[in-house]
């Protein structure tokens, strides 16, 4: 059942993802909530809120996420993980809000 859930999540992510468009707020929120459920997808100890903001601002500057997605990410502490080879958002992880 777990493999089916991971496969289904992966399919939804690929099916709803336009590789040439920035992630909008709905896509960003969906990815954040789905990636949080996958064990080992994100780091085990959350990064600081300052690092969260830096990573979100960098992704926004690169055109990988929209401005609304950056506001949502900063408000809830979710930051994008960017694949260095494809320069696309590979995951959205939870950071520390303090």
Structure tokens at 65: 């996420």
Q: C-alpha distances in angstroms, 83 versus 1, 23, 59, 75, 76? A: 28, 14, 11, 23, 22
CA atoms within 13 Å, Cβ hemisphere of 10: 8
**Residue 17: which pLDDT band, with cuts at 50, 70 and 90?**
very low
Contact 23, 64 (CB under 8 A): yes
pLDDT at 8: 52
**Residue 1: which pLDDT band, with cuts at 50, 70 and 90?**
low
């Amino acid at each position: 059942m777990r493999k089916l859930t991971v496969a289904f999540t992966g399919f939804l992510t690929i099916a709803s993802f336009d590789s040439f468009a920035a992630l909008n707020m709905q896509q960003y929120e969906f990815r954040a909530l789905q990636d949080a459920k996958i064990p080992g997808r994100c780091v085990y100890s959350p990064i600081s809120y300052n690092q969260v903001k830096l990573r979100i601002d960098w992704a926004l500057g690169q055109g990988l996420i929209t401005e609304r997605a950056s506001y949502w990410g900063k408000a809830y502490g979710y930051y994008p993980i960017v694949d260095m080879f494809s320069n696309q958002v590979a995951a959205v992880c939870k950071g520390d809000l303090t």
